[in-house]
Amino acid sequence: MTLIKSISGIRGTIGGHVGDNLTPIDAVKFASAYGTWIKQQRDKENYKVVVGRDARISGEMIQNLVMNTLVGLGIHVIDLGLSTTPTVEVAVPMEHADGGIILTASHNPKQWNALKLLDAKGEFLNGEEGAKILKIAEGNDMSFADVDNLGKITINDAYIDLHIDEVLDMDLVNVDAIKRANFKVVVDGVNSTGGIAIPLLLERLGVHPVKLYCEPNGHFPHNPEPLKEHLTDLSEAVVKAHADFGIVVDPDVDRLAFMDENGEMFGEEYTLVACADYVLSQTPGNTVSNMSSTRALRDITEKHGGTYEASAVGEVNVVNLMKKNNAVIGGEGNGGIIYPELHYGRDALVGVALFLSLLADKKINVSDLRASYPSYFMSKKKIQLTPELDVDGLLKAMEGKYSEENITTIDGVKIDFADSWVHLRKSNTEPIIRIYTEAPSQTAADELADKIILEIKGIANI
């Protein structure tokens, strides 16, 4: 079964059977539920929703289905066409819209697509509102507009440029210093909309972009998740071009990773660390990331006199804690930068501009910048369990076993040791426990993960 319904949206593989995959009928059904939810939020004469998509092969088909479903509900649509997740997020409040839909399956392969749902602030829905939409989709209480009250579709393809304008207007983006630095940067746009947006941003900043896989045709040249093992072509291109560094984004441009001038990964976890280092040096304050992100952010935050806090995994959880603690920057260790000055959403364009400002300010190369940060290494593993096992009970037992350590239970069980940590989380869809660890060396991180796995198996008698 490859149709996954959750509070954050619906995603699945294209084709196949209704209810088991993301078929046209499933797309229409879920868009209908979202549109019905939009109309329940406020009783008004005109409703408006912003819709954009990444460059997936199925994107145009799914977008037409979604937009015309909204039209059938009497909702006006602003069609951004090829866009990015953060661009749609920025566009919703600028359009004074009632919500937004991004058609993207993020880092998933080309056969996947998804509907990601935004509220009137351009932010992802919280769990309560997402659950309401799922409930609407399960029923038949959806009323469509009559012929005189259908919505209209308005095309607006200017929003990537408008998004870039907003990024360049941020106080901490030092456009003049970046232009003086005369950077050359290789961009891997994974043949999606990052290949449009990132080079345009770089050109506006006076940076010379060397384009790699920047044709937005949806044919991903490698696994689209921006991890080291998928980026050998970028590594070779950076060295061959004698570039200052490389940039890679995922298909919807909310995740960002860098590669240094030697073709070595800067580390996806360290994207947020570097951007936070720059922001905190200019505007001291607090930071937030999720519980599975590197401890280096805490170290950098405390170095600048701020307070770091960890949220449950999930962008909406990070955002909620950022608002509560007035964090000046936050995000996720997967390369997601959330900078509230512009908006509360992961934004690779914001991350690129802040990173370039940091390099221009410090006047050092990327490898030296990475060496200046605390070094931590992560291991990410999982245990496959049998369905009859009590996963919650296993996590509770591990919590008890390490009760003398610093324990956090807002999202599974996280155990903080003096120089390392382990985070145990159960899957919501299958009997799996995910084990994330971090330590001062890769060997130590792997050994800690293996030790925890053996202990869980011992408790479960497997």
- The set of catalytic residues is 106
Q: What beta strand segments (E) does 250-307 contain?
A: 256-259, 286-290
Write phi, then psi, for 132 (nearest 5 degrees).
-60, -40
Sheet with 432-439: strands ordered across: 377-384, 432-439, 421-426, 413-416, 406-408
The Cα angle at residue 363 between residues 360 and 366, in degrees rounded to 5: 90
Cβ–Cβ under 8 Å, residues 282 and 255 = no
> Distance (Å, rounded) from C-alpha 268 to C-alpha 255?
9
Write phi, then psi, for 40 (nearest 5 degrees).
-80, -20
> Distance (Å, rounded) from C-alpha 294 to C-alpha 452?
19
Residues 6+ apart with CB under 8 A from 324: none
Encoding tokens for residue 432?
């799996």
Residues 6+ apart with CB under 8 A from 112: 2, 11, 12, 13, 14, 22, 56, 105
**Helix or strand or coil: residue 50?**
strand
